[in-house]
């Protein structure tokens, strides 16, 4: 039980806290080890053009694949990597692997890669990324970096410098999880984005809530007005697909088209009429 030292203001012993810290410490050691042994790998989820069904890119999603084949999701280890500073090394390893994979794809297929908010404070990040692309031999125009709104507001000046370094070299920038962060609209006017990705939460509640549909319609209109490509995340059902096509959303991503796999599934254009076919009329 916790016991207070009368001379001091803090609690000196808390078994629950101790346990959490131990578990965290253990996980950190495991993560360092996993980085060394190559257990942290990118998997690839297709990005599909909703007019044609063409696969136009893949988003690299980090997976921790254990020796026994078990998989851990990024939600479990990315935050820890951010807190411990391991994110720089982890992200560089992932990006290198992802770029090497992307080099083998047809030249018109892009690689989308997520950056953590914590990474944007690294003044050398832009240079590091451009060096890596050169080293691997992937043209910058094949890469699209996904950044969340939260990441941008942490240090606006720094983010601006970074993004202009990258966009000048030809790298594309997508605003990820659009609609869930802060001051989205001021971010849109300030930074040179190519694309907005509508957060999955809006698409998930499409069917039951008309309001969500109106919000998505408005975001797509905003994107069109600003000359940006819009992508809908988390498309799972035929009716979501049919509705997004009708609204003129450019690209889509979701389990309906495919989950992330260890090697990118390069397929001929998907038969979207068939995929959306079971949809009830909107």
Contact 40, 93 (CB under 8 A): yes
Q: Which is nearer to Mg ion, 237 or 253 (CB)?
A: 253
Residues 6+ apart with CB under 8 A from 201: 179, 180, 234
Any contact of residue 46 with ligand C2E (CB under 6 A)?
Answer: no
Q: What is the C-alpha separation between 116 and 113, in angstroms, rounded? A: 10
Residue with tokens 């606006």: 156
**Of the candidate residues 47, 48, 50, 94, the single one contacting ligand C2E (CB under 6 A):** 94
User: Whole-number minimum distance, CB 42 to ligand C2E, in Å?
Assistant: 6
Pick from 195, 270, 256, 253: nearest CA to 61:
253
Piece of 69-77, 125-133, 183-191, 212-220 that binds ligand C2E (CB under 6 A): 69-77
Any contact of residue 242 with ligand C2E (CB under 6 A)?
Answer: no
Q: Which is nearer to ligand C2E, 86 or 94 (CB)?
A: 94
Q: What is the C-alpha separation between 85 and 104, in angstroms, rounded? A: 31
User: Whole-number minimum distance, CB 259 to ligand C2E, in Å?
Assistant: 6
**Of the candidate residues 114, 167, 229, 230, the single one contacting Mg ion (CB under 5 A):** 114
The backbone torsions φ and ψ at residue 229, rounded to the nearest 5 degrees and listed phi first, read -80, 135
Residues 6+ apart with CB under 8 A from 155: 120, 121
Any contact of residue 116 with Mg ion (CB under 5 A)?
Answer: no
Q: Which residue is nearest to ligand C2E (CB)?
A: 254
Q: What is the 3-state secondary structure (H, E, C) of 13-39?
A: CCHHHHHHHHHHHHHHHHHHHHHHHCC
Q: Which is nearer to ligand C2E, 160 or 236 (CB)?
A: 236
User: Whole-number minimum distance, CB 250 to ligand C2E, in Å?
Assistant: 17
Contact 130, 168 (CB under 8 A): no
Rounded (10°) angle between helices 74-84 and 15-37: 100
Q: Which is nearer to ligand C2E, 228 or 241 (CB)?
A: 241
Give how many residues touch ligand C2E by CB under 6 A.
25
Any contact of residue 39 with ligand C2E (CB under 6 A)?
Answer: no
Give how many residues touch Mg ion by CB under 5 A.
4
**Of the candidate residues 62, 102, 145, 244, the single one contacting ligand C2E (CB under 6 A):** 62
Any contact of residue 99 with ligand C2E (CB under 6 A)?
Answer: no
Name which of residues 177 to 236 contact ligand C2E (CB under 6 A).
177, 200, 233-236
Query: Tokens standing for 246?
Result: 């009708």
DSSP string, 216-269: HHHHHHHHHHTT-EEEE----SHHHHHHHHHHT--EE-STTT---BSS----SP
- Interface residues toward ligand C2E, by CB under 6 A: 45, 60-62, 73-75, 78, 91, 94, 114-116, 146, 176-177, 200, 233-236, 253-255, 260
- Interface residues toward Mg ion, by CB under 5 A: 114, 146, 176-177
């Amino acid at each position: 039980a916790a016991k207070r030292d009368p001379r001091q203001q803090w609690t000196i012993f808390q078994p629950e806290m101790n346990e959490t810290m131990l578990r965290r410490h253990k996980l950190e050691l495991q993560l360092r080890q996993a980085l060394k042994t190559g257990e942290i790998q990118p998997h690839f989820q297709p990005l599909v053009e909703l007019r044609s069904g063409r696969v136009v890119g893949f988003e690299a999603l980090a997976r921790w694949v254990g020796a026994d084949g078990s998989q851990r999701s990024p939600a479990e280890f990315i935050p820890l990597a951010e807190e411990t500073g391991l994110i720089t090394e982890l992200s560089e390893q992932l990006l290198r692997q992802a770029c090497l994979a992307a080099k083998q794809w047809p030249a018109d297929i892009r690689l989308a890669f997520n950056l953590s908010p914590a990474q944007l404070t690294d003044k050398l990040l832009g240079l590091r990324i451009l060096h890596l692309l050169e080293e691997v031999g992937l043209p910058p125009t094949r890469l699209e970096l996904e950044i969340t709104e939260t990441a941008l507001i942490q240090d606006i000046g720094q983010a601006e410098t970074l993004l202009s370094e990258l966009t000048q070299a030809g790298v594309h920038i997508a605003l990820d999880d659009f609609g869930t962060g802060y001051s989205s609209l001021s971010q849109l006017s300030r930074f040179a984005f190519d694309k907005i990705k509508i957060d999955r939460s809006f698409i998930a509640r499409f069917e039951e809530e008309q309001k969500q549909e109106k919000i998505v319609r408005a975001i797509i209109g905003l994107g069109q007005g600003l000359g940006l490509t819009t992508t809908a995340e988390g498309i799972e059902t035929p009716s979501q697909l049919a509705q997004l096509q009708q609204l003129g959303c450019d690209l889509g991503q979701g389990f309906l088209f495919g989950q992330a796999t260890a090697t990118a599934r390069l397929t001929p254009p998907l038969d979207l009429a068939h995929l959306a076919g079971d949809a009830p009329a909107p």
